[in-house]
Structure 1
Amino acid sequence: MTQALVIGGTRFVGRHTVAELRDHGYDVAICNRGEHDNPFADTAVEHVQGDRTDDGDLADAAHAVAPDVVIDCVAYYPRDVRAATRIFDDADAYVYVSSGAAYGEEAIPKREGETGLHDCTEEQATDDSKGSYGPRKAEGDRAIFAAAEDGVAASSVRPCNVYGPHDYTGRVDYWIERVANHDRVLVPGDGTNVWHRAYVEDVAAAIRTVAENGEPGEAYNVGDRRATTLDELVEMIATVLGESVEIVHAGSRELAAGDIDAGEFPLYRDYPHLLSTAKLSGLGWEATPPESALQATVDDYVESDRDGSEYGPDREAEARVLGVLDTLT
């Protein structure tokens, strides 16, 4: 049986990846600091405690588990990737979870090997700010390419905005909360904004697929096979919840009444962000229909104790915008 090591493995993408691997017959171990609840504590999943930023801890995990496959869900800095590809250089597959944010060039769609990646300065490579996230992920991808040239079976997956059960980011929670609790939902722009999303179980399946069939030195985009607009997201949430809502659009002038910037709304982006998934599909990967993925996402939210109201603009500010719009009609 193939032995897999998932670095991370208890929160969101890693949690689903562990489940995906187990469902496909892998023996699985996880390596993390143990700061979050372990959903696999009562299973056969081995837990190796360690800090992935400590090369000694990572080497100890390599020795303890002797993995055939390594999935790196929490490599946030280029040095993390360089260290891991050195420590696990004899693995049959090392898969780095990168991000669609690695792309620095705007194109529709963004394609692996064609669309330019972010540059990454020495300062950005060690910075932990949100603004350096894309450059850091891009430099991690370049570390993958370099390791593959040295004979390491290293590859990369690039998910766009990941959503689904156990999502702690609140990006989709915000919209679920608005639909669940308000008759009118404020949407920036004209509602046709597209910021490509990726269902978490599809991301986990992509990771396994790339580990099994991907080519060393290659990156693979991951996203819903059918991208949906922000309006369509709100409408699908309403359908799942059995709610009837009015979508109200607001431009920058109207949003100013509530001192709101359109960028404050989760999953809003001025320029469309769309990733081609043809390369990954060529490996046999298939995506879940958005309606089914969102059903599972909403069900998880309803059963959880999360409250998406803490994300995005304040509702009172939105109410001021709605009031202004009412005076214009």
Structure 2
Amino acid sequence: MDTALVIGGTRFIGRHLVSELLEHDYDVTLLNRGTRENPFADDDRVDHIEGDRTNDSALEAAATIDPDAVFDCVAYYPKDVQAATRIFADCEAYVYISSGAAYGREEIPKRENETPLESCSPEEATDDSDATYGKRKAEGDRAIEAAANRGVNAMSVRPCIVYGPDDYTERLDFWIDRVNQHDRVVVPGDGTNVWHRAFVDDVASALRIVAEHGEAGEAYNVGDQRLVTLDEMVDLIADALDTTVDIVHAGPRELAAGEIDPTDYPLYREYPHVLSTAKLTALGWESTPLESAMEQSVEDHLESDRDGREQGPDREAEERVLGILETL
């Protein structure tokens, strides 16, 4: 494959995907509304079509360039996937970004074709709340399977929580800022919490590899091949910053002193969320070493104006918790 259409492509995962494709000698066209700065505006290997992907006519206009591969970074509703797999039915590969949130049962690990997906009612399929995000992604996965049954080479990639440079969610920035600014870092629970994460460059390479080697109708999980606990993540951040911190564990009772709930912390999840990556690994994919991934993430944080402080408890509330713990 030589040409690719990336629907989205300028913000986070899409931005890194375009860089991945360019590194592998693809000519790339972006389809988006043009409302954000285009980091590839000066690259003559990247063309741009302005249009709203929720408008079928915009997709049909993009289809006239006859891309070999289509990567759909901004399909948030099942109808988006249904329209795209119809309009790009003749391309060599269509890859939809789904989510680990599409899984409908808590088990360790969650496996493609084994762990059930979320259900999705017609009302939920058009809802725009966070509560239906996983359901809508799951219904998009079912649209991929239906398209494959019609002969379309459509596949999906299911990332867990994505982190890395350009991450506008600022979830990891919260923790980097805490480690960078304070000697003592409050970690909810006992520090062994596990929420599987995926480095953004690894998601980008997964998308390309699935387009090139995946099977129609299949879904592929992507996440770091080595998982770390919340404590270990904080230690990785400290190492990348060349500093040390004291990790202070606080349970629900202690956190209540600052009117904090454990789930107020980004990247904390009460039940472990772990995805099997064996299926993707079998295609030749591998993840970036965690130390390198965190070093890149920290470097980008330091060069940005992001601090993530709105993503979790404020420090003043944590100081009240620390005060209580000192008296115990």
Q: Same-fold call, TM > 0.5?
A: yes
User: Partner amino acid for 1:130?
Assistant: D
Q: How far apart are the structure 1 equivalents of 2:123 and 2:76?
A: 14
**Structure 1 stretches lacking a partner, 5+ long:** none
Residue of structure 2 in register with 1:251 after alignment: 251
Secondary structure (helix, strand or coil) at the match of 1:288 reads: coil
Residue of structure 2 in register with 1:60 after alignment: 61
User: Partner amino acid for 1:39?
Assistant: P
User: Partner amino acid for 1:62?
Assistant: A
Offset at 1:310? 2.2
User: Partner amino acid for 2:101?
Assistant: A
Q: How far apart are the structure 2 equivalents of 1:42 and 1:54?
A: 27
Secondary structure (helix, strand or coil) at the match of 2:29 reads: strand
Residues 241-284 of structure 1, C-alpha deviation per residue, up to 9 Å, x if partnerless? 11221101111111111111111100000000000000000000
Q: How far apart are the structure 1 equivalents of 2:316 and 2:129?
A: 29
Residue of structure 2 in register with 1:25 after alignment: 25
Residue of structure 1 in register with 2:315 after alignment: 315
Offset at 1:312? 0.6
TM-score normalized with structure 1 length: 0.98
Residue of structure 2 in register with 1:126 after alignment: 126
Question: Mean alpha-carbon deviation: is it higher for 306-315 or for 183-192?
Answer: 306-315
Secondary structure (helix, strand or coil) at the match of 2:123 reads: helix
Task: Say whether residues 1:277 and 2:265 are aligned partners.
Answer: no
Residues 42-90 of structure 1, C-alpha deviation per residue, up to 9 Å, x if partnerless? 0020000000011111111111x21110000000000000000001000
Offset at 1:304? 1.1
Residue of structure 2 in register with 1:197 after alignment: 197
User: Partner amino acid for 1:170?
Assistant: E
Q: How far apart are the structure 2 equivalents of 1:54 and 1:16?
A: 25
Residue of structure 2 in register with 1:47 after alignment: 48
Residues 269-322 of structure 1, C-alpha deviation per residue, up to 9 Å, x if partnerless? 000000000000000001111111001000111111212222211111111111
Residue of structure 1 in register with 2:210 after alignment: 210
Residue of structure 2 in register with 1:2 after alignment: 2
Q: How far apart are the structure 2 equivalents of 1:269 and 1:107?
A: 14
Q: How far apart are the structure 1 equivalents of 2:124 and 2:312?
A: 26
User: Partner amino acid for 1:56?
Assistant: S
User: Partner amino acid for 1:33?
Assistant: R
Residue of structure 1 in register with 2:238 after alignment: 238
Spell out the pairing of 1:213-232 with structure 2 (5 A cutoff).
213-232=213-232
Percent of paired sites with the same residue: 68
**Structure 2 stretches lacking a partner, 5+ long:** none
Q: How far apart are the structure 2 equivalents of 1:319 and 1:53?
A: 46
Q: How far apart are the structure 2 equivalents of 1:321 and 1:126?
A: 41
Residues 204-244 of structure 1, C-alpha deviation per residue, up to 9 Å, x if partnerless? 00000000000000000000000111000101101111122
Runs of 4+ in 1 over 3 A off after TM superposition: none
Secondary structure (helix, strand or coil) at the match of 1:141 reads: helix
Q: How far apart are the structure 2 equivalents of 1:104 and 1:306?
A: 33
For this pair of structures, how many residues does the alignment match?
327
User: Partner amino acid for 2:185?
Assistant: V
Secondary structure (helix, strand or coil) at the match of 1:74 reads: coil
Residue of structure 2 in register with 1:170 after alignment: 170
Secondary structure (helix, strand or coil) at the match of 1:221 reads: strand
Secondary structure (helix, strand or coil) at the match of 1:47 reads: strand
Q: How far apart are the structure 2 equivalents of 1:10 and 1:56?
A: 21
Secondary structure (helix, strand or coil) at the match of 1:142 reads: helix
User: Partner amino acid for 2:74?
Assistant: V
Q: How far apart are the structure 1 equivalents of 2:39 and 2:86?
A: 29
Residues 19-45 of structure 1, C-alpha deviation per residue, up to 9 Å, x if partnerless? 101110111000000111000000020
Q: How far apart are the structure 2 equivalents of 1:266 and 1:123?
A: 29
Spell out the pairing of 1:16-165 with structure 2 (5 A cutoff).
16-44=16-44, 45-63=46-64, 65-165=65-165
